[in-house]
Structure 1
Amino acid sequence: MSHENHFWDTTVDDLSKGYSYADNIGSYVCVLCNEHFEDGIIYPIDGVLYEAKKAVIQHIEQEHGSVFDYLIQLEKKYTGLTDHQKELLTFFYQGLTDKEIVKELGSGSPSTIRSHRFNLKEKEKRAKVFLALMNLLNRESHQENDHKFIHFHKGAKMVDDRYAITEDEKKKVLSTYFKDGLNGQLDKFPSKEKRKLIVLQNIINHFELNRIYTEKEINTVLKPVYSDFVTIRRYLIEYGFMERSKDGMEYWVKN
């Protein structure tokens, strides 16, 4: 399972913790960045030895601050929250009173903050009902896997109906453009947006998460995939699959 699939397919409880346990590989997995901590292995962190479960918790604290910090910074298309709602949730998470929040904001009144608290609780109720409905739908659905929509990375830009791609569509496109297999050479780069996304999503799998690449290293990976590797490199950045430092010296896969 890819990192993105793991993030979106995890349970609400595991997402709240920031990690899940993968029985098939016997590892605790950070759902925020896909870092694995194998059960039975001892991990030294800052001079202290941790078992896998405690190591993943320590990792989340060091690398992501907290699960709340990570999730609250996700874009509105994923949280459904306005900037003001995010700000209020952060204050609530910090345990500030209504009066303290008014002071921090420099405007409003305690009654206004109480109203916001109430509205967010109502939003939580609606979210619970919606999750229950989707859970029942997924459980009872007779759709084949090929008709399920694929997940895209959280860094995806310009998200619209171009991202409504089923597993069946993905298989057909990849077999058309990668005639020698998914690890083989790209026959040609597609012009249609949906197909570009599918092809780029496959190409990004050639790169490792949590690794910094130079431009030369990027080119070395891309050259065997497609002759016009410069175009591929540009599109990986443009479509949010990779990020690049301002000086263009470092590249990395966008988590």
Structure 2
Amino acid sequence: MIDNTLFWSASVEDLAKGYIFNEDSGEFICLICNEKFENGIIYPSLCEGIYYEAKKAIAEHIKIVHQSMFAYLLSLGKRHTGLSDIQRELLHYFSQGISDKEIAKKLDSSASTIRNHRFKLKEKEKQAKVFLALMQLLDNGGVKEENFVAFHKGAKMVDERYAITELERKKILTTYFKNGVDGPLDTFPSKEKRKLIVLQQISTKFETGKNYTEKEINDVLKAIFHDYVTLRRYLIEYGFMERDRDGSTYWTRT
């Protein structure tokens, strides 16, 4: 699965670009799909007859494959952005350079109302800067709390159950995978936090970007636990995987 830790630990500047540069590997890594472009290699453009160096290639990749980083971040929804539906819609229109008057017509509103929304969004930006500064000072000067497990961006029903530290994760995996995480699952937990960690580990057995048939899913899950049907159902229910309407194709969430 996609390394969500990479996404959530990226700086604001890197999130805006949509990629990071790993100095150790010399690779530019897409924060959306984890596609990698190695520095020093020339890549064919998605437009025929053009070639780009790695940095230019990943920028084109984000623009063409993912539309834009702006569109992707906006699509994450209120849980991740803190924006209401109307604020997200307005930001979409603002990004297109549409005037307040034109937006007001589209939304059956008034230009003054749109201007008021612009003002509130600017205030929200200021608050976000202060909050980021506070968190940075807390990290630099205080006692650091344990790192929390990063879950996939498609996680459903996110609440306190997802507040799991890395230490808790290791203990849970040791308890339920007695022969190691590459071995079978001893029992399937009933408690929510434990269930989430076990499902997250199981989901790593599937490749991101690859489509699976139900039989292929079952074959992988049978090697992990005898009740593979339950595992498959919970992987879907908790958003670790998706499937099409007829259940013929499955894929992991990023």
**Matches of 1:202 and 1:177, distance apart in 2:** 11
Letter in 1 for 2:240: F
User: Which SS does the other structure have where 1:206 is aligned?
Assistant: coil
Letter in 2 for 1:52: A
Question: Mean alpha-carbon deviation: is it higher for 215-224 or for 68-77?
Answer: 215-224
Question: Mean alpha-carbon deviation: is it higher for 133-142 or for 181-190?
Answer: 133-142
Residue 193 (structure 1) aligns with: 192
Which structure's relative contact order is higher, taking Cα pairs within 8 Å and 6+ residues apart?
A: 2
The answer as to 2:135 corresponding to 1:134 is yes
* Residue correspondence of structure 1 range 171-250 to structure 2 within 5 A: 171-250=170-249
Question: Mean alpha-carbon deviation: is it higher for 233-242 or for 18-27?
Answer: 18-27
Q: CA deviation at 1:42?
A: 2.1
* Residue correspondence of structure 1 range 31-180 to structure 2 within 5 A: 31-46=31-46, 47=48, 48-105=50-107, 107-143=108-144, 147-180=146-179
Which deviations, in whole Å up to 9, do the C-alpha atoms of 1:89-141 show, x marking residues without a partner?
11111111111111222x22211111110000000000010011111112233
**Matches of 1:131 and 1:143, distance apart in 2:** 16
Question: Mean alpha-carbon deviation: is it higher for 7-16 or for 52-61?
Answer: 52-61
**Matches of 2:11 and 2:210, distance apart in 1:** 27
Percent identity between matched residues is 60
User: Which SS does the other structure have where 1:21 is aligned?
Assistant: strand
Letter in 1 for 2:142: S
The answer as to 2:26 corresponding to 1:26 is yes
**Matches of 1:167 and 1:219, distance apart in 2:** 29
**Matches of 1:246 and 1:52, distance apart in 2:** 38
Letter in 1 for 2:233: R
Q: CA deviation at 1:220?
A: 2.0
Q: CA deviation at 1:143?
A: 3.1
Gaps of 5+ in 1: none
After the TM superposition, which segments of 4 or more aligned residues of structure 1 sit over 6 Å from their partners?
Answer: none
Change (3 A) 1:42 1:220: farther
| Contact 2:2–2:33 (8 Å) recurs in 1 | no
Letter in 2 for 1:61: K
State the TM-score, normalizing by the size of structure 1.
0.95
Gaps of 5+ in 2: none
State the TM-score, normalizing by the size of structure 2.
0.95
**Matches of 1:128 and 1:231, distance apart in 2:** 44
| Contact 2:93–2:103 (8 Å) recurs in 1 | yes
Count, aligned residues: 252
User: Which SS does the other structure have where 1:114 is aligned?
Assistant: helix
**Matches of 1:139 and 1:100, distance apart in 2:** 46
